[in-house]
Amino acid sequence: MYLLTAIRRNERMRRLGKTLERSAKAWCFRLLSRRGGNARAAGPETLKGVQRVLLVRPNFRIGNAVIGARFIQALTESRADIEIDYLGADTTRALFEGMPLARYHALSRSMPLRPWRLLQLLMRLRRRDYDLAIQVGEGSLTSWLCTRLCGARRTLGQRGRLEASYDWVGDVSRGHAYEWGSALAASLGLAWEPRPWMVISARERAAAASLAGAGDSTSPVGIFVGGHLDKRFPFSFWQALLGELERRRQPYLVLLGPEEEAGRARLEQACGFHGRVVPAVSLRCCAALLANLSRLITPDTGPMHMAVALGVPVVALLNVDGSRKFTPRGPEDRVLFRPAPARVAELVSPGARRERSHDAVKALPCRPSAPMDAEVGLT
């Protein structure tokens, strides 16, 4: 594991980094907001004569990436004549495969340590000769810098402390995360569907079907064990949940993020006949797996937003109030705040009292169950 990756995944270092980041950004925003200007309110005329657009959101979070991708779909459906490029993060690039993009430009966390690579990226952007650069999503200092330095003839951002630095400015929703772009899209004359967006091919879905156990009489539910800082649940909760699913004979798959690999053995020991822990897979394979599930149980995480984008019903488990504005809102989605494992299992096992055939999960070899922790502490 690279040193920077190890530091980034250390919980104490991440909390310290968040604190320092907020302080540095606040100082920079105060300094930059002193610059005056006359930005015009965005409207349908903003896209008049535009042939090439750069959408800017170099965010390394999976959820933010698939939420921001909705703007690609909105722009494509309304203005098929516009050529669209996207400036995003290198770690989330795979999420944009199959989308109607001319080019994807990737920003890396290592670029500040390798300034020549950042300079090369900016030169590639400027050679594309954009008519308009649009800052996609909530304002960030990195997005602002890339929007300013990409060489576009006109720039579009959101109202706020830096609005005077753009040529055009638009409103964004301060409510639910899925609504953030609705006001901006409406001002540009674009239709906006308030949910994330992903594209998974039929070939990818079929390739993951056997691993997911799809096609059986009872498709498995997925359980993503992960989360960022306070959003995560303890392993004892997941062990107890697996025990409850086993008792109800509910087929399930456990998916892990890179930071949860250390707890794989504990979860494998908790699996019984009806489920198993999926080996580490690529981001695209993970998305294809999600597309084959009957439902996903997950905290507020990137895979939660991927599942919403793919139309998979979600049981969202919240551990902090701040997650409420990111929760799915589909008719089959459910949101639970610090639930007991038995409540979650009951919700995803409507036929728990009905005998199920073991053939439904014969493709899911598992290890025998291990004793569950007696107390979870999250009820």
Over residues 150-190, the pLDDT tens digits come to 999 999 998 877 888 899 998 887 789 998 888 889 899 99
Q: What is the pLDDT of residue 163?
A: 82
**For residue 103, is pLDDT > 90?**
yes
Asked whether the beta carbons of 274 and 246 are under 8 A apart, the reply is: yes
Cα 236–Cα 238–Cα 239 angle in degrees, nearest 5: 65
Q: What is the pLDDT of residue 167?
A: 92
Three-class SS of residue 178?
A: helix
How much of the chain exceeds pLDDT 90, in percent?
A: 60
Q: What is the mean pLDDT of the chain?
A: 83
Average pLDDT over residues 88-114: 94
How far is residue 33 CA from its own chain's centroid?
A: 30
Q: What is the pLDDT of residue 155?
A: 95
Show Cβ contacts of residue 154 under 8 Å, excluding neighbours closer than 6 positions: 46, 131, 132, 133, 167, 168
**For residue 8, is pLDDT > 80?**
no
Q: What is the pLDDT of residue 221?
A: 95
Q: Residue 313 — very low, low, confident or very high, per pLDDT cuts 50/70/90?
A: very high
Separation between Cα atoms, residue 77 and residue 232, nearest integer Å: 37
Residue type, 157: G
Angle, to 10 degrees, between the axis of helix 283-291 and the axis of helix 302-309?
50
Q: What is the pLDDT of residue 138?
A: 66
| 6 or 241, which is more confident | 241
Q: Which two tokens stand for residue 120?
A: 């090369």
Q: Per-residue pLDDT tens for 36-48? A: 567 789 999 999 9
- Lowest mean pLDDT segment, chosen from 10-24, 182-196, 252-266, 298-312: 10-24
Q: What is the pLDDT of residue 2?
A: 54
Average pLDDT over residues 321-335: 93
Helix intervals (H) in the chain: 3-9, 11-32, 62-68, 70-78, 115-127, 141-149, 182-187, 202-212, 235-247, 264-270, 283-291, 302-309, 341-348
Q: What is the pLDDT of residue 364?
A: 36
The dihedral formed by the CA atoms of 74, 79, 85 and 87, expressed in degrees to the nearest 10:
-30
Asked whether the beta carbons of 208 and 292 are under 8 A apart, the reply is: yes
Whole-prediction pTM = 0.82
Q: Among 239, 263, 242, 238, which residue's Cα sits nearest to residue 252? A: 242
Three-class SS of residue 33?
A: coil
Q: What is the pLDDT of residue 260?
A: 83
Q: Residue 22 — very low, low, confident or very high, per pLDDT cuts 50/70/90?
A: low
Show Cβ contacts of residue 180 under 8 Å, excluding neighbours closer than 6 positions: 67, 137, 138, 172, 173
Q: Which two tokens stand for residue 75?
A: 């722009």
Q: What is the pLDDT of residue 218?
A: 67
Q: What is the pLDDT of residue 150?
A: 96
**For residue 326, is pLDDT > 70?**
yes
Asked whether the beta carbons of 134 and 107 are under 8 A apart, the reply is: no
Three-class SS of residue 175?
A: coil
Asked whether the beta carbons of 246 and 272 are under 8 A apart, the reply is: yes
Q: How many CB atoms lie within 10 A of CB 67?
A: 27
Separation between Cα atoms, residue 65 and residue 71, nearest integer Å: 11
Q: How many CB atoms lie within 10 A of CB 165?
A: 18
| 354 or 278, which is more confident | 278
Residue type, 121: L
Q: Residue 344 — very low, low, confident or very high, per pLDDT cuts 50/70/90?
A: very high
Q: Per-residue pLDDT tens for 285-308? A: 999 999 999 999 999 999 999 999
Show Cβ contacts of residue 74 under 8 Å, excluding neighbours closer than 6 positions: 181, 185, 190, 191, 192, 193
Q: Give φ, ψ of 353 to 5 degrees.
A: -85, -5
